[in-house]
Amino acid sequence: TREHLEVVQLLGVERGLIALTKIDLVDEARRQRAIEQIRELTKGTFLAGARIAPVSSITAEGFDGFYEALSEVVAQTPRRNTQGVFRLPIERVFAVKGYGTVVTGVPASGQVQLGDQLELIRVGSDEQDPSRRLTCRVRGLQVFGKDTRCGLAGQCVAVNLAHVGSGEIGRGDALVSEGYFRPTQVITGELSLLSRMKKALARRTPVALHVGTSERQAKAVLLDRKELAAGDSCPVQFLLDGPIVAGPGDRFVIRTHSPRMTIGGGVVVDTGM
């Protein structure tokens, strides 16, 4: 839970609601102790002062208050900018009988409409492979499980594609507006190291880099110092072991290999495009 909170902060989330679950298993005194622990855990984070909604999925206790609190958070959340070119980091891909290939994910930018002609960038294929970039058409579209004619950045979308097979696509590939993006193996950004780290991060440390739905092994090349102290930030360049599709403003998270744990994150500044 602590690491999840750190990751959510690194991803730039600014507001939220805390659900305290399984309250049917404990008495009121234990609930209050849990609430106090949560308040202590979230001090100094974006969840400091956030509403805590105790709920039980067994008895349904607390769900009226939970939905009320959730509606308040949604009402306070600014609308996302949906301008710009379309880019969908692909999360899942599957085939539906009678419909064909479907990809799902949350668009990082722009919007998609029925009938759009898009480009599928397959980051797992060889750079010289002509099928690394495939042209496809949007045959069907759903947002949050309902048929629609338009999907926007920030929404959970499912896109039914024509002219491409499900076996040709994988997690981490990208569905984009034609002619705007290309895969890269060099990413420049601003990196922040978590304050709980006991050791500084040395220049050229190997890390696992997570951007969008992609995970790559990378070397973190610190650009203005030999090591980064806990709680500090600096410009960084990641040298990746394989290509990804990303854009300025994307959030990233880095983890160590052994032990596997989150150590920092930040914002993409440049992808060399």
Angle at CA of residue 85, ends 127 and 189, nearest 5°:
65
122 and 49 in a single domain? The answer is: no
Residue at 132 is within a domain: yes
Q: Which of 46-60, 71-85, 123-137 has the lowest mean pLDDT?
A: 123-137
Residue 125 confidence (pLDDT): 62
Q: Is residue 221 included in any domain, yes or no?
A: yes
Q: How many whole angstroms separate alpha carbon 78 and alpha carbon 248?
A: 20
Residues 128 and 198 in one domain: no
Question: In terms of Cα–Cα distance, which of 102, 238, 98, 72 is closest to 166?
Answer: 102
Q: What is the pLDDT of residue 238?
A: 98
DSSP one-letter string for 132-194: GEEEEEEEEEEETTEE-SEEETTS-EEEEEES--GGG--TT-EEE-TTS---EEEEEEEEEE-
Amino acid at 205: T
Q: Are residues 167 and 206 in the same domain?
A: no
Supply the DSSP symbol for 17: -
Q: Check whether residue 133 and residue 92 sit in a common domain.
A: yes
* Threshold 0.85, pTM exceeds: yes
pLDDT computed for residue 166 by the predictor: 86
- 242: domain CATH number? 2.40.30.10
- The percent helix, strand, coil of the chain (3-state, each to 5) is 15, 40, 45
Q: What is the CATH number of the domain that holds 34?
A: 3.40.50.300
- Among the listed residues 182, 211, 183, 207, the one whose alpha carbon sits nearest the alpha carbon of residue 197: 207
27 located within any domain = yes
Of 140, 156, 176, which closes a domain? 176
- Confidence class of residue 122 from pLDDT cuts 50, 70 and 90? very high
Selected residue with higher pLDDT from 249 and 168: 249
CB 8 within 8 A of CB 41: no
> Residue 173 has which token pair?
């590939």
In angstroms, the CA 9 to CA 12 distance is: 5
Domain boundary residue among 26, 45, 76?
A: 76
Q: Which residues contact 71 (CB under 8 A, 6 or more apart)?
A: none
Mean pLDDT across 187-192: 98
- The contacts of residue 3 (CB under 8 Å, 6+ apart) are 261, 262
The answer to the question of residue 133 being in a domain is yes
Q: Note the pLDDT tens digit of each residue in 28-57.
A: 999 999 999 999 999 999 999 999 999 999
Q: What pLDDT, on a 0 to 100 scale, did the predictor assign at position 27? A: 96
Question: How large a percentage of the chain has pLDDT more than 70?
Answer: 97
Task: Report pLDDT for 1.
Answer: 77
- Residue 82 in any domain: the answer is no
Domain that holds residue 190: 184-270
φ and ψ at 69, to 5 degrees? -65, -40
Counting the structural domains of the chain, the total is: 3
Pairwise pLDDT comparison (208 vs 165), residue with the higher score: 208
Q: What is the mean pLDDT of residues 173-193?
A: 96
Would you state the pLDDT for residue 131?
Answer: 57
Q: What is the pLDDT of residue 128?
A: 61
Mean pLDDT of all residues belonging to the chain: 94
Maximal C-alpha separation, the chain: 64
Q: How confident is the model at residue 91 (pLDDT cuts 50, 70, 90)?
A: very high
